[in-house]
Structures are given as structure tokens and as C-alpha cells.
Amino acid sequence: MPQPEFRSKLPRTGTTIFSVMSALAHAHQAINLSQGFPNYDPPAALRALVAGHLEQGHNQYAPMPGLPGLRQALAEKHAAASNHLLDADTEITITAGATQAIFTAITALVHPGDEVILLEPAYDSYRPAVELCGGVVVAHALRYPDYRVDWAEMASLVNTRTRLIIFNTPHNPTGTIWHRSDWEALEALVADRNIFLLSDEVYEQLVYDGQRHYSLLDFPNLFARGFATFSFGKTFHATGWKVGYALAPAALMEEFRKVHQFNVFSVNTPLQYALADYLQDPATYNYLSSFYQAKRDFFLAQMNGSALRPLPCAGTYFQLFDYSAVSDLPDTAFARWLTTERGVATIPVSAFSSTPTTDWVIRLCFAKTEDLLAAAAERLVKL
């Protein structure tokens, strides 16, 4: 019997670079500074709350939008940060991680033929989600070494087919953050245009050197046309829990939930109860900026004297290094060599872009214990 013809919906997409490099690190017993996950547990008090709610019987479906108590806690958290009063019933939805929130927002907004602007290097889930919806990706290149948005160039990409602009601040992989001037430029760009926005803010708590995180919520005219997505995994060192959330005006959130209910329906119930309890005290997350800045500074101090040149890191838990003084290998080949021959796994920054780059830049994750960072640095300073 003849078999049906199979046509891939993502013919140019393979296994993510994160999975590839982590597998390579495991195979060669390398120190894994590639994939962005901590090597330490979530806070003990939060873990105890999860265990408690498991034992209390909170093990069945949560409401589709998320537990009311958790949504209310998030409304209060963001009101304190941005003075934006969210409606916990209609403007907040709990998701199975931020990636699901991003996918759901894109699916709710993008129709076949719509153009979607990405800022590259870009987190790797954006493009496949757009393409699965039949959208057309238009990439704006953030250029080495400062990776700032060129707003004049961005304006040249916008036309009547532009449906959505996706952006990420603090930015993975570059560690840059948007300033107020960037948000104001975006506001001018989309004014009087039928364009929606998706603001990926999963590293909102990880901003350094006295700077502040500006959110979509800080700009009412922008929030009126967009989604903002967040991650408890990033905030509480619990990437394996896969719990995040999305914020949007009620009309957009109504469309978001239409997709969400048939994609995931609802999210891990005992974790939601535990997070609702834990968020009652802002001290559970307000310390994170200093916590991760100390890790960044420790790692950079350990790397003092290395031929790898650090680029500025204003946010996230990733540090970029220019390796041009060490090798002229393309970054993917260099990352593989570094893993297999020097025992430190990293991520090539070109993996976040759709077009080839001649930059010699790699990304290392410093969300690790100091002993692991010191051990990795000891190997790297010998290059």
C-alpha cells in the first residue's frame, strides 16, 4: 500500500542549538554553560509550599485562565512595579511556561501572509511559531558590538502587511536592555498603524548596575495593542516547572484564551497555589537583581586575564564574549571545539539569527554556583 506523502511544516528547523550543545556537553563531560538553566534548586520555602499543596489535595485541573489567587497576586506585583492596574480576571492568564505564552499570542494574532518583525539575534521559538501560522518573518539585525535597535532601519521594514513586532528585554542572548527612548521610538513607529506587539520580558528581574526594567505596562498606548510574557522558571530558578504567564488587554486576552484552552487548557495546579502564596512577599523576588549581578561580577573577575573579551551585560543571566583573539573559526565550530577539546559548553550567537554572521561571539550562562563558574573560568583563561 502506498504511504501518504509527508511534508514538513518546518522544513528548515532542526533540533535546537540548546539541546545539541547540552547533549555534546554530556557526551564529553564538559562544564555546561550553554543552556540557560541554574544548577541550583528553587528556594526552599517555595519547594515546601509546593509539597504542602500536593498533600492538601490541590491536584486536579486549575481554572483555564489560572488560579484567581495567583492572578490577583500578579496584578498586585505589576501594579507596584509599573503603576498599571491590571484586571486579574480578564487581563492575566497563567501558561505552561513563557514559550507557550509566546506561541499562543502569536497564534492568536498572526494570519497567513502577515508579516512579523523579529529583532535578531532572537530567541529561537519566535520564528517557528510565526511560520506555523503562515506568517512571514522580517528580521531586523541587532549589530555587534552593542546590539541596539536602529529605529530608522526598523521604520523601513514596516508596511501595510506588518501585523506584529516581537521583542525581548532584557535581551537573550545579548544581555542588552531597552531604555525609555527605545519604547518611545516604538510608540512613534506604531502610532496610527494596525500593528500589534509581543514583549518577551522573562528576565524582568535581572537588570544590573542600578538600571531599571521598562515594561510594556509602563506605556499604556503600547500595552493597548500588545502582549507581555513572563516566566516563573527564570525568576525562581525552576525552569523545569514550566509555569509562566501572559498579560494583555481584555479583548486581546479573550482571543489568547481561545487558543490557550485548546492548546494546554490549564496549568499545574499545586505549583500555582504555591506561587500565589510565595508572591505575597515582594522580598522573594526583589533580591534577584543583586543576586545575579554578583554572579556576573564573580564570573568576570574569574575570567580576568582571559583572551576572551566580555561584552557589556546589562541584564539576563548570559554573558557574551568576543573570541576573535583566540580563534578564527566560525562561532558554531568554535563552540563545538570549546566543548570537546577544552571542556566548557557554550552557545554560538549566530544560532539566534537567520542570516550568516562574521561576528566571533559566544554566549555563556552564569546562572551557576560559584564553584562551577570558577572551574569553567580556570579552563577558559588558558585559551
Of 100, 108, 118, 106, nearest to 233 (Cα)? 100
Contact 240, 233 (CB under 8 A): yes
Half-sphere exposure of 339 (CA within 13 A, CB side): 27
Q: Mark the ranges of the chain whose per-residue pLDDT is less than 70.
A: none
Instruction: Give pLDDT, residue 228.
Output: 98
Chain Cα centroid distance, residue 261: 23
**C-alpha distance from residue 15 to each of 19, 22, 124, 239 (Å):** 7, 12, 11, 19
Instruction: Give pLDDT, residue 233.
Output: 95
Query: 286: Cβ–Cβ under 8 A, 6 or more apart, which residues?
Result: 205
Instruction: Give pLDDT, residue 263.
Output: 94
Q: Does 3.90.740.10 match the CATH number of domain 17-42+286-380?
A: no
Query: 47: Cβ–Cβ under 8 A, 6 or more apart, which residues?
Result: 41
Instruction: Give pLDDT, residue 6.
Output: 84
Return the C-alpha cell found at 32: 555546561
| Pairing of β 115-120 and β 162-168 | parallel
Reduce the DSSP state of residue 87 to 3 states and report it: coil
Instruction: Give pLDDT, residue 135.
Output: 98
Please state which CATH number belongs to domain 60-283.
3.40.640.10
Backbone angles phi, psi at 292, to 5 degrees: -80, -30
pLDDT 10s digits, 61-70: 999 999 999 9
Instruction: Give pLDDT, residue 331.
Output: 95
Of 145, 175, 177, nearest to 296 (Cα)? 175
The model's pTM is 0.96
The residues spanned by each domain of the chain are: 17-42+286-380, 60-283
